[in-house]
Amino acid sequence: MRIGVDLDNCVADLWRCALPLCNQFFGKEVRLSDITQWEMWECIGVSKEEFMDYHDACLGGAVVIEPVTEAPEALRRLSQEGHEVTIVTARDQNFGEETERWLDEHGLGDIQLMMGQQDKRAAGSWDTFVDDNLDVCLDLSPSVPLVFLFNQPWNQARSLPRGMVRVSSWRGSTTIRVRQAGDWVEDQY
């Protein structure tokens, strides 16, 4: 089974780790729960340009980014079971060295990495995909049999289309659901 997984906020816990520096950088007191839309700069009250400068500083090493709880273990386990796991990120190639080093440090250096992928549909043909961006998940859902929306304050929706499942962690149930998705996909196609 081909599994695509978004890096930031699904594997690398970017916003939980970067928010304290964000508040210091911009002189704000924003909580993670205050980030209620993908255009995060609007929630913080700064321009997109200011936000992107800050964002690039975080990716460049200004913040120690921890992994999402149990994400490395789950992805390694899925890979060891024979699934083709690919970490797909919109991060620019300029952050390739830092990104690869981060993956190596967290035992994910053997998992394929695709960088600079703004359009995750064009990045590959997936059997299942995990992302925290609701718009990406909605875009993928017609062509990807099962899409997992990694729960975050910025991706809340009243209802999700058929074939899209909201998950809150990588703990056992999500890994089992991804594995079962592969069985379901194989039965359907």
pLDDT score for 94: 87
Q: Which residues contact 34 (CB under 8 A, 6 or more apart)?
A: 43, 153
If asked whether residues 37 and 112 sit together in one domain, one would say: no
What does the pLDDT read at residue 42?
94
- Rounded mean pLDDT of the chain? 86
Joined tokens for residue 35: 């980030």
Long-range interactions of 38-47: CB distance < 8 A, separation 24+: 38/133, 38/134, 38/135, 38/154, 38/155, 40/15, 40/154, 43/154
Per the structure, how many domains does the chain have?
A: 2
- Rounded Cα distance between 100 and 108, Å, is 9
User: Are 128 and 182 found together in one domain?
Assistant: yes
State whether 92 and 184 are in the same domain.
yes
| Rounded Cα distance, 11 and 34, in Å | 21
Residues found in the chain: 189
Regarding whether 42 and 133 lie in a shared domain, the answer is no
Q: How far is it, in rounded angstroms, from Cα 21 to Cα 9? A: 16
Shared-domain flag, residues 41 and 83: no
Q: What percent of the chain has pLDDT over 90?
A: 54
- My answer on whether 166 and 85 are in the same domain is yes
Among residues 120, 131, 125, the alpha carbon closest in space to that of 164 is found at: 131
Same-domain pairing of 28 and 82: no
* Claim to verify: residue 88 and residue 53 sit in the same structural domain: no
Whether residues 141 and 85 share a domain: the answer is: yes
Range of the domain at 28: 14-62
* Domain edge (last residue) among 22, 46, 62: 62
Radius of gyration, alpha carbons of the chain: 16
In this structure, what are the phi and psi dihedrals at residue 166, rounded to the nearest 5 degrees? Answer: -85, 130
Confidence of residue 186 (pLDDT cuts 50, 70, 90): very low
CATH classification at residue 140 = 3.40.50.1000
- Quick one: DSSP state of residue 62? I
**Same domain for 45 and 72:** no
Residue 107 and residue 36 share a domain: no
Final residue before a domain boundary, out of 42, 62, 82: 62
DSSP state of 67: B
Q: Can you give the pLDDT at residue 180?
A: 61
| End residue of a domain, out of 47, 62, 77 | 62
> CA-CA distance, 139 to 90, in Å (whole number)?
15
Task: Give the pLDDT confidence score for residue 178 in this predicted structure.
Answer: 62
Convert the pLDDT of each residue in 144-175 to its tens digit.
888 999 999 999 977 888 888 889 888 765 55
Q: Give 2-48 pLDDT, tens digit per residue.
A: 999 999 999 999 988 889 989 998 999 999 999 999 899 999 999 99
